[in-house]
């Protein structure tokens, strides 16, 4: 196997095509990957098939995406309030689900758990409405600006309370990690929708409020691109300011408002982020199911070349 591949590949790429964990991992190995991130759609049965492969060293699990293994309850899905529920019982259940993910991460020898912390509840789908206007070329119109300002007011008025609830939940989870003596880091990931938590200023708030605990930022490049084109921030500038407190990165490109595409297949936008990616310890290609194997191979090789990685895995 080519040990110059410093990336993990997320099972988000092929998990929906498989019911066998072993077959899913073997397909990834065939691409030249010896490291994976296990995504939240991996079932318990698949996980139990993958575990012996990890124990034998056939595959290295670098990170696991909360909630893991797959659950059928959308109230605790990746697009939910999750760790920010105002209801204490719902938040306790979310904490318990996350602790269960951590236990799996320990079993698999992973070093990080990726978390979608929560969101600000909204009465309308601002993200979809704004994206539709973007695709119609209306970003500079009064209609777009009015809707954007409405979204921002709703988001910023709700943010402090939900960020604080998330902080409390993450603190409880960290207390469990510390008590158990686990070497697991939590990575709080920036999200894809404008009302989801955290955006960059919320990352700073959370990390400041969780000092000296095993909590870090997890930078999703594609999500940052989506919200940057919506007008929310300069993703490169914000991510660069957080790079020393960033444990992992999800790497994928966007086209219009579609994400999880292979870098360098449709654009060279990833060039802008190479120096940030280079500095982040866990590098995960998080690609969608539409990506073809040959495009992933090509994309991976281009990324390695951009990072200056040679055939011995050294920069």
Domain ranges of the chain: 8-121+161-306
- Angle among Cα 271, 273, 275 to the nearest 5 degrees reads 100
CA distance 152 to 57: 47
Lowest mean pLDDT among 1-10, 34-43, 127-136: 1-10
- When the pLDDT of each residue in the chain is averaged and rounded to a whole number, the result is 96
Topology (CATH level 3) of domain 8-121+161-306: TIM Barrel (3.20.20)
What is the per-residue pLDDT for 145? 98
Given a contact cutoff of 8 angstroms between Cβ atoms, the answer to whether 246 and 259 are in contact is no
**Which tens digits make up the pLDDT trace of 73-90?**
999 999 999 999 999 999
Q: Is the pLDDT of residue 182 over 60?
A: yes
CA distance 74 to 82: 10
| Section 160-182 average pLDDT | 98
Q: Could you give the percent of the chain with pLDDT greater than 90?
A: 96
Q: Which residue do the tokens 């008590």 mark?
A: 179
Q: Is the pLDDT of residue 310 over 70?
A: no
Going by pLDDT thresholds of 50, 70 and 90, the confidence category of residue 309 is: confident
Which element (helix H / strand E) includes 50?
helix 44-55
Structure tokens at 9: 């590949």
Q: Is the pLDDT of residue 58 over 50?
A: yes
| Section 163-171 average pLDDT | 98
Q: Is the pLDDT of residue 4 over 90?
A: no
Q: Is the pLDDT of residue 225 over 90?
A: yes
| Section 249-276 average pLDDT | 98
pTM: 0.96
Task: Tell which residue, 195, 244, 238, 201, has the closest CA to residue 220.
Answer: 238
Structure tokens at 127: 């993200």
């Amino acid at each position: 196997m080519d040990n110059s591949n410093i990336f993990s590949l997320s099972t988000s790429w092929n998990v929906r095509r498989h019911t066998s964990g072993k077959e899913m991992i073997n397909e990834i190995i065939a691409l030249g990957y010896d490291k994976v991130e296990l995504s939240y759609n991996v079932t318990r049965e698949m996980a139990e098939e993958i575990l012996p492969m990890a124990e034998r060293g056939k595959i290295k699990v670098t990170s696991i995406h909360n909630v893991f293994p797959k659950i059928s309850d959308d109230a605790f899905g990746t697009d939910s309030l999750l760790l920010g529920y105002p209801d204490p019982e719902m938040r306790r259940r979310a904490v318990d689900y996350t602790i269960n993910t951590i236990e799996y991460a320990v079993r698999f020898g992973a070093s990080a758990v990726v978390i979608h912390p929560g969101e600000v509840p909204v009465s309308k789908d601002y993200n979809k409405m704004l994206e539709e206007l973007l695709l119609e070329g209306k970003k500079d119109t009064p209609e777009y600006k009015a809707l954007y300002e409405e979204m921002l007011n709703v988001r910023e008025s709700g943010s402090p309370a939900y960020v604080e609830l998330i902080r409390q939940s993450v603190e409880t989870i960290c207390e469990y990690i510390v008590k158990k003596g686990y070497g697991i880091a939590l990575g709080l990931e920036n999200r894809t929708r404008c009302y989801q938590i955290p955006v960059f200023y919320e990352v700073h708030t959370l990390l400041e409020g969780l000092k000296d605990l095993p909590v870090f930022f997890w930078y999703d490049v594609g999500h940052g691109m989506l919200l940057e084109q919506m007008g929310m921030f300069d993703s490169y500038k914000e991510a660069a300011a957080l790079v020393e407190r960033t444990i992992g990165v999800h790497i994928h490109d966007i086209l219009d408002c579609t994400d999880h595409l292979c870098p360098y297949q449709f654009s060279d936008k990833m060039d802008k982020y190479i120096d940030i990616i280079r500095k982040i310890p866990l590098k995960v290609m998080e690609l969608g199911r539409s990506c073809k194997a040959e495009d992933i191979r090509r994309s991976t090789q281009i990324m390695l070349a951009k990072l200056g990685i040679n055939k011995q895995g050294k920069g």
